Structure 1
Amino acid sequence: MHFHAYKKLRNGWRASVLAAIGGKMPAAPITRSALEIERYCAGSLDWDNAYGGLKPLLDCLVAPSARNPDGLGLIMDDSPRFMPDAPRVFQLPAKRGAGYAVVRIYAVD
């Protein structure tokens, strides 16, 4: 994907997440986190596409950095050091054109 197209996609996710949290950025990111994502859709993706499609979402959840200045700072990072387990993804049915996602973020020890 061209970097301009990816930035547009990431900004769309960023706007959706920012709206979902009421426009309030956290004072500090969750240092160690776990994620659950419920993907409501008319059709299921195979697992490599389901997990690969998380990248723009994860990029806007992490703390801002020089490489990713658009991060919202909800979680410190999506690396195994800060997110010990891969996100849990659930694919659930929805009517065509009425898909949405629910993201749950948990602090872990």
Structure 2
Amino acid sequence: MKYGREVTFSIPEASILLNVWQRMHWAKRKAYHESLCWSVRAALESEGYQRLSPFKRCKIEIDRYSSQLGDWDGVMGGLKPLFDTLVVCTKTNPLGLGVIEDDNPGCIIECPVIRQHKSTHKAAATVVTITEVLEA
């Protein structure tokens, strides 16, 4: 494969787990998603990310640091709000930042790699690396 641009950023909290997300009231979900969007935007700006065209094809790696390790299905399902923040802004997804074109298999060409790491509660974080794929 031939790779292009790469973006790495860190947000200062572990990604939410699916069970927590599903049990949230719709208003709290909206508030969480807006807060996540601002956290991702701030992290991208602190890394010097220049807003160029969104990645048309990419692969994603996520390192999740938390005091408790989650079930794999809960970790993967809980990434939905993060992915919705990374895609292009649309009428149905007004919080998209336009880093990647979409979160479908045509854009994210392989299942995201997720690694969990045990850490202290204060050191909780989510580190995201997005690599543009130019040729398969």
1:65 to 74, 90, 114: 90
For residues 114 and 96 of structure 2, what CA distance do their matches in structure 1 show?
21
For residues 43 and 100 of structure 2, what CA distance do their matches in structure 1 show?
15
Percent of matched pairs sharing the same residue: 38
Amino acid at match of 2:57: R
Aligned residues: 109
Shift of 1:61: 0.3
For residues 49 and 19 of structure 1, what CA distance do their matches in structure 2 show?
26
Amino acid at match of 1:9: Y
Name whichever structure is richer in strand by fraction.
2
Could you tell me which runs of 5 or more consecutive residues in structure 2 were left unpaired when the two chains were aligned: 1-23
What are the superposed Cα offsets for residues 81-107 of structure 1, whole Å, 9 maximum, x if unpaired?
111212111001211232111000000
Alignment of 1:72-83 (within 5 A): 72-83=97-108
Amino acid at match of 1:57: L
User: TM-score normalized by structure 1?
Assistant: 0.91
For residues 91 and 68 of structure 2, what CA distance do their matches in structure 1 show?
37
2:41 to 15, 18, 37: 18
Report whether the alignment pairs 1:31 with 2:56. yes
For residues 42 and 13 of structure 1, what CA distance do their matches in structure 2 show?
20
User: TM-score normalized by structure 2?
Assistant: 0.74
> With CA pairs under 8 Å and 6+ residues apart, which has the higher RCO, 1 or 2?
2
Spell out structure 1 runs of 4+ moving beyond 3 A.
none
Amino acid at match of 2:32: L
Could you tell me which runs of 5 or more consecutive residues in structure 1 were left unpaired when the two chains were aligned: none
> Taking structure 1 as reference, are residues 60 and 18 closer, same or farther at Cα in structure 2, changes over 3 Å only?
same
